[in-house]
Amino acid sequence: MLQLVLAMGLRYPRSSRGIRVKVLVVEDEPAIRESLAYSLKREGYEVDTAGTLAEAERRLEEVGLVILDLMLPDGSGFDLLLGLRRRERPPAVIVLSSRDSEADRVAGLETGADDYIVKPFSPREVMARVRAVLRRAVREREERPSPATGLTTDPDTRRAAIHGASLDLTRVEFDLLHCMLHARGRVFTRAQLIEKLWGDNFAITDRTVDTHVKALRRKVTEAGGDPSLIETVRGVGYRVSDGPLQPASDM
Ligand code: CA
């Protein structure tokens, strides 16, 4: 029975309000666009497609996830990504690109993409990523951490701040901070962070975690926070430090 429920949940992904999640595929190559749309529909998603940035802009209504090609006939997918980040409730974004350089990957994640897939890819791989990103996006957390470090995260509004100064974080950076802040002093291994943020997505590497943590730490520092607040525990992982280290029994 449980397995049936789980299978149904995967087959007909719904938001917390029970509405089917709408996915917008932005890709100018018809073969890739149609194959993605086909796979997504088969998984139970509501699907819309766009071949240009202009078309995509007109189809963003009610969209929960955008699968976004970077090289489009009328511009770069990065521009759409930047525009989405200014929205109050931005959809999740998976960037799709044939450019697989480290610089593009980092730029994609730092611009606010939730995940990054390099062409060529298998539909199976994309569906696994879509499920992981959406699971993370709809997961609502009720607890609110106390502001002992000067850092605060509010899972309802997804706003983060340090000493009252708001931090402009991507979805992943927010989740990382919220997760570690709520268990201040506890060390999280990269594998634990991957499990918490991406679920069973086997394609996420330690390096991805490092990239997001680095970006998060930079933003905290730029907003006046101490760089050691987001602490690297050599050979183990990361933690949000809270002044004097907590004894092991509290972890
Ligand atoms: Ca393209």
User: For residue range 145-187, what is the model confidence (pLDDT) as tens digits?
Assistant: 444 678 888 888 889 999 888 999 999 999 999 989 887 777 8
Fold of 7-142: Rossmann fold (3.40.50)
| Domain edges within the chain | 7-142, 151-240
Give residue 145's pLDDT.
43
Give residue 105's pLDDT.
67
Indicate the SS3 state at residue 242.
coil
**Gap between the Cα atoms of 109 and 122, Å rounded:** 21
C-alpha dist (Å) from residue 69 to 6, 83, 232? 30, 15, 33
Query: Residue 118: pLDDT above 80?
Result: yes
Angle subtended by helix axes 102-110 and 77-85, to nearest 10: 30
Distance 214 CA to ligand 1 centre (A): 29
pTM more than 0.85:
no
Distance 32 CA to ligand 1 centre (A): 9
| Selected residue with higher pLDDT from 38 and 239 | 38
137 Cβ contact list (under 8 Å, min separation 6) = 64, 65, 92, 114, 171
Give residue 242's pLDDT.
62
Give the number of other Cβ atoms within 10 Å of residue 180's Cβ.
28
Query: Residue 200: pLDDT above 80?
Result: no
Distance 77 CA to ligand 1 centre (A): 9
Return the CATH number of the domain spanning residue range 151-240: 1.10.10.10
Distance 98 CA to ligand 1 centre (A): 8
Label residue 234 by pLDDT band (50, 70, 90): confident
User: For residue range 17-72, what is the model confidence (pLDDT) as tens digits?
Assistant: 445 789 999 999 999 999 999 999 999 899 999 999 999 999 998 898 999 998 89
Averaged pLDDT for residues 75-104: 81
Distance 192 CA to ligand 1 centre (A): 35
Distance 249 CA to ligand 1 centre (A): 53
